[in-house]
């Protein structure tokens, strides 16, 4: 029998239903069937599959980048019940039949209860990694020149005694533990929203392309006040048209790189095409989707980052509808594009999307 029997999908607490809908649809497209176990607010979902080998193929082949609500995934064993003594030894014994891994992460649900496990997980992870290095079980990650492991060992801990042991492909899983990018709030930034745009860039624009795609040039920020997103654009050397009827932060205006346009962001159009459009206006998501299509079809910018605020009900269905609307309209206009969407760590009742036109 295959070692692994479940996929553990971490998500923002409260978004378990969306996560379950997303993984079920995604796996069904790959011909993998099973059922989800979830409790509202627990910060993860367990997809129970009847065929572990198919689940393994799925985490290797379904692009992790295309998932919206799933922060991290782990192809895992059933829940293990450990006794308190020598937990490292007990996990070591479970490693028969697990592919060699390059590194170890010990993760926990991002909930109030889960966060109390942070210190235990850090210490346990480092003790386990030491033991696995000593046993020469851990192998360096594969590079182009060297054969090595493509896997990361991931433990998902519910308590000191209950956890699941699993793996995830290094190149097809979240690059940060728990799928959480922890950013330091820059003190000069006018609002905490600033972290949303910064996080979005980390997910959507490869670091080595920041100098070409995210430096200098012109940007439009729709719904800009008080200026957290504009601040990020200014930091990247951009000249920004900040569109909002509300007041902009005065220090930011003194940078000389910001023009404040007191206009309706849904009707604003730039005089000349710009490099970036970003949008953080709170309105019906389908209205934002329609506006994004206008910008793309008219060639007003090369790249966009925009939020889709989620409705109270049918959140998964509504985001699917908006994203589909954008893709259908762009296809009809004969455009070439890349569209990605993700519920960021810094997002609450919204998802963040990135549209790049070629």
Nearest Cα neighbor of 195 from 205, 179, 183, 206 is 183
CB-based contacts of 136, cutoff 8 Å, min separation 6: none
* From 3, 123, 309, 317, active-site residue: 309
280 binds ligand SAM (CB under 6 A): yes
265 binds ligand SAM (CB under 6 A): yes
Q: 């960021």: which residue's tokens?
A: 344
* Stretch binding ligand SAM (CB under 6 A), from 57-65, 69-77, 243-251, 314-322: 243-251
Residue 333 CB, shortest distance to ligand SAM, in Å, is: 24
Cβ-closest position to ligand SAM: 228
- Rounded CA separation 231/235 (Å): 6
Catalytic status, residue 313: no
Residue 153 CB, shortest distance to ligand SAM, in Å, is: 38
Which one of residues 229, 295, 300, 316 is an interface residue with ligand SAM (CB under 6 A)? 229
Which one of residues 32, 181, 225, 238 is an interface residue with ligand SAM (CB under 6 A)? 225
Nearest residue (CB) to ligand SAM, 157 versus 225: 225
- Between strands 34-37 and 44-49, the pairing is antiparallel
- Rounded CA separation 269/83 (Å): 64
DSSP tag of 141: B
Q: What is the dihedral of CA 229, 231, 235, 236, to 10 degrees?
A: 30
- Rounded CA separation 266/165 (Å): 48
Q: How many Cβ atoms sit within 10 Å of the Cβ of residue 175?
A: 12
200 binds ligand SAM (CB under 6 A): no
Residue 158 CB, shortest distance to ligand SAM, in Å, is: 35
Q: 């970003």: which residue's tokens?
A: 278
**First and final C-alpha spacing in the chain:** 47
Site for ligand SAM in 29-68 (CB under 6 A): none
Which one of residues 149, 227, 285, 301 is an interface residue with ligand SAM (CB under 6 A)? 227
* Stretch binding ligand SAM (CB under 6 A), from 13-21, 101-109, 113-121, 261-269: 261-269
For ligand SAM, the binding residues (CB under 6 A) are 190-191, 193-194, 223-229, 243-246, 264-266, 280-283
- Among all residues, which ones are annotated catalytic? 309
């Amino acid at each position: 029998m295959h070692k692994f029997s479940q996929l553990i999908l971490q998500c923002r607490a409260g978004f378990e239903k969306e996560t379950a809908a997303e993984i079920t649809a995604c796996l069904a497209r790959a011909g993998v069937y099973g059922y989800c176990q979830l409790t509202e607010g627990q910060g993860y979902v367990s997809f129970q599959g009847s065929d572990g080998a198919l689940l393994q193929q799925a985490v290797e082949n379904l692009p992790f980048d295309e998932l919206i609500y799933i922060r991290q995934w782990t192809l895992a064993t059933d829940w293990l019940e450990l006794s308190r003594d020598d937990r490292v030894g007990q996990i070591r014994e479970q490693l028969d039949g697990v592919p060699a891994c390059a590194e170890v992460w010990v993760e926990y649900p991002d909930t109030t209860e889960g966060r109390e496990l942070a210190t235990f997980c850090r210490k346990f992870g480092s003790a386990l990694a030491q033991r696995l290095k000593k046993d020469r079980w851990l192998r360096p990650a594969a590079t182009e020149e060297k054969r090595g492991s493509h896997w990361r060992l991931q433990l998902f801990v519910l308590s000191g005694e209950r956890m699941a042991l699993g793996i995830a492909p290094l190149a097809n899983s979240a690059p940060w533990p728990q799928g959480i990018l922890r950013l330091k709030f820059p003190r000069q930034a006018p609002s905490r929203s600033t972290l949303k745009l910064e996080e979005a860039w980390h997910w959507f624009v490869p670091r080595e392309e920041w100098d070409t795609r995210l430096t200098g040039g012109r940007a439009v920020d729709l719904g800009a006040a008080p200026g957290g997103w504009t601040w990020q654009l200014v930091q990247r050397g951009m000249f920004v048209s900040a569109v909002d009827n509300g007041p902009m932060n005065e220090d930011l205006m003194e940078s000389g790189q910001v023009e404040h346009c007191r206009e309706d962001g849904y009707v604003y159009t730039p005089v000349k095409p710009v490099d970036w459009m970003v949008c953080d206006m709170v309105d019906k998501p389908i209205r934002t989707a329609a506006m994004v299509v206008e910008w793309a079809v008219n060639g007003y910018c090369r790249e966009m980052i925009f939020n889709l605020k989620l409705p109270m009900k049918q959140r998964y269905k509504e985001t699917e509808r908006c994203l589909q609307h954008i893709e259908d309209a762009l296809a009809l206009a004969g455009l070439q594009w890349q569209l990605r969407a993700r519920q960021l760590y810094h997002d609450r009742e919204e998802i963040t999307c990135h549209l790049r036109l070629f």
